[in-house]
Amino acid sequence: MRNLFVKNYMAFAMLILVSFTFAGGVFMAQVSRYSVQEKKEQLGTTVSYIDTIVDNNLTLVQSPDYSAFMQTYLDQQAAVSGCIILLTDADGNINILSMPQENENLESEMQGAVSSSLVKTITETGSYFGTGNINGLFSENYFIAGSRCTNADGSTSALVIAATPSESTTGLMNDIMRSYLFIVCITLTLTLIISWFLSDMLTRPLKGLVSAAKKFGRGEFDVRVSENNNCDEIDELAVSFNNMATSLRQQEELSRGFVANVSHELKTPMTSIRGFVDGMLDGTIPPEKHNQYLKIISEEVGRLSRLVIRMLDAAKIQAGELIITPAPFDLTEMAARVLISFENQINDKHLEMDVELEDNLIVNGDSDHIYRVIYNLVDNAVKFVNDGGTLTIRAETEGTMSLFLIRNTGSVIPPEDLPHVFDRFYKVDRSRSRDRTGAGLGLYIVKSIVNLHGGDISVRSSAEGTEFAFTMPLVPKQDGHDRTKKTE
């Protein structure tokens, strides 16, 4: 029952059987009622007509020709109506028996009298309709209609009884039942075929998805499934599946690039540190130069430490475990401190600075994390700005949010790379070949920190320069605070 075809077919079959059974039952009940009513009307008409003839000829009862006349007349009526007709006396004894030619073989069996209960019923009510065998006169049940003939004083002179086999109705019902079963079998067979085609149409693309998923599990991320399956829901699933495959392939490529970058970033400083330490130990580096190389070793250790911290932060962000402790602080003062720390690099590149920081820009956030955000953005801008280029920095109010913007001239991020610059492990190596350090985690961490603070970050890049901007929630303005002053 776990197979889609079996479930589909069983559902359709149950629906068909229930529908046909209900419809067939109602139809057969209607046919049966109509058939019985038809027999009742037929027998009633026959009996009523004969009753009238008998009543009109009561004066001939004593005539020798009466029996011959009635026999002939009743034989004609039996032949026309197809009914067995009995004319009895008031006590139910059969005087005349007429039947269609096809029932003549029953004449020898029908001897005796009509049951007293039937005689009593006809005598008391004047008419009767029902089923029975008339006190064993018939070997099977018949539809029976009866009527009494009365004398001038109202007493019963004779009984007229007409009967027809009930098997005609039973045969009709059996024919209907056989037709019903035949139709059900044909319908179930067609349903079986249709269910097979429907199930195949549904399962074929699903089997393709299963096969592709197994290949994905083996690391084959280039496999794609058909997106034209003549079913909107499955097509939508296929599109989502292919998008997922593309994303998995990108993640796999990024992960491989990350491993390669991290391996390189760890190996290079560790090789330098080991070489310098070995050189000092074996005397290759003279003692008077130890301090110089110890400073280099310290810088390489700091570089390793920063890389490890970024990897740990990325892991915490991914696990949702990065904790921030918001508190009010001055974003302008923090931006100024970060710029001062880059004074040497700015002078070395002979940069033209365009700085406009709104005074007393109090925001609500984790100052340590936001310091890393600003530091990272300034570090990237200084790193990629062209020598003698322009570095533009803005910090200002924007509604209930603060806006920090940094723009640098120089290299341009290609449009196809812009949507991915904040992705984990992503590096724009083609356009920013000077980025020899880092593992593609810096901007991912920056975006995550900004989002955790309820802000947003964006990037734009054109021939005029590359611009990063992020927002932070402001502390509600209090009396006495004036944010209109500018620092340049």
Is residue 352 predicted with pLDDT exceeding 80? Answer: yes
Q: Between 478 and 469, name the one with better pLDDT.
A: 469
Lowest mean pLDDT among 110-124, 179-193, 371-385: 110-124
CA 197 to chain centre: 21
Q: Which two tokens stand for residue 412?
A: 């341009």
Say which residues have a Cβ less than 8 Å from residue 141's Cβ, sequence separation at least 6: 131, 132, 133, 166
Which SS3 state, helix, strand or coil, does residue 160 take? strand
80-133 pLDDT, tens digit per residue, is: 887 888 888 888 888 788 888 766 555 555 566 777 888 888 888 888 888 877
In whole angstroms, what is the distance from residue 392 CA to residue 17 CA? 79
Most confident of the following: 83-87, 182-186, 253-257, 352-356: 352-356
Long-range CB pairs of 114-123 (<8 Å, 24+ gap) are 114/86, 114/88, 114/159, 114/161, 116/92, 118/92, 118/144, 118/146, 118/161, 119/88, 119/90, 119/91, 119/92, 119/159, 121/146, 122/146, 122/147, 122/148, 122/159, 122/161, 123/90, 123/148, 123/156, 123/159
The neighbour count for residue 246, using CB atoms within 10 Å, is 13
In whole angstroms, what is the distance from residue 132 CA to residue 123 CA? 18
Say which residues have a Cβ less than 8 Å from residue 285's Cβ, sequence separation at least 6: 276, 279, 293
Q: Which two tokens stand for residue 320?
A: 């949702």
Q: Between 472 and 71, name the one with better pLDDT.
A: 472
Indicate the pLDDT class of residue 62, thresholds 50, 70 and 90: low
Closest CA to 88 of 162, 138, 178: 162
Give the pLDDT of residue 471: 93
**Between β-strands 156-165 and 327-330, what pairing exists: parallel, antiparallel or unpaired?**
unpaired
Lowest mean pLDDT among 110-124, 320-334, 403-417, 449-463: 110-124
Lowest mean pLDDT among 108-117, 133-142, 291-300, 434-443: 434-443
In whole angstroms, what is the distance from residue 144 CA to residue 160 CA? 11
Percent of the chain at pLDDT exceeding 90: 16
The owner of tokens 């992960």 is 255
293-351 pLDDT, tens digit per residue, is: 898 888 778 877 877 777 777 677 766 767 788 899 999 999 999 999 899 899 999 99
In whole angstroms, what is the distance from residue 152 CA to residue 137 CA? 31
Q: Between 143 and 408, name the one with better pLDDT.
A: 408
Give the pLDDT of residue 382: 92
Give the pLDDT of residue 40: 80
Is residue 427 predicted with pLDDT exceeding 70? Answer: no
Question: What average pLDDT does range 11-22 have in this prediction?
Answer: 83
Is residue 59 predicted with pLDDT exceeding 60? Answer: no
Q: Which two tokens stand for residue 301?
A: 């250790």
Is residue 481 predicted with pLDDT exceeding 50? Answer: no
Closest CA to 262 of 439, 443, 427: 439
In whole angstroms, what is the distance from residue 135 CA to residue 117 CA? 9
In whole angstroms, what is the distance from residue 9 CA to residue 264 CA? 60
Lowest mean pLDDT among 2-6, 19-23, 174-178, 421-425: 2-6
Give the pLDDT of residue 410: 85
Most confident of the following: 32-46, 237-251, 394-408, 433-447: 394-408
In whole angstroms, what is the distance from residue 369 CA to residue 386 CA? 28
Indicate the pLDDT class of residue 434, thresholds 50, 70 and 90: very low
Give the pLDDT of residue 331: 93
Residue 423 half-sphere exposure, CB side, CA atoms within 13 Å?
18
Most confident of the following: 78-87, 117-126, 194-203, 457-466: 457-466
> Which residue type does 289 have?
K
Give the pLDDT of residue 482: 46
Q: Which two tokens stand for residue 263?
A: 């391996």
Give the pLDDT of residue 260: 66
Indicate the pLDDT class of residue 430, thresholds 50, 70 and 90: very low
Q: Between 161 and 108, name the one with better pLDDT.
A: 161
DSSP class of 385: B
In whole angstroms, what is the distance from residue 212 CA to residue 218 CA? 10
In whole angstroms, what is the distance from residue 279 CA to residue 378 CA? 36
Lowest mean pLDDT among 46-60, 275-289, 443-457: 46-60
**Between β-strands 352-358 and 390-398, what pairing exists: parallel, antiparallel or unpaired?**
parallel
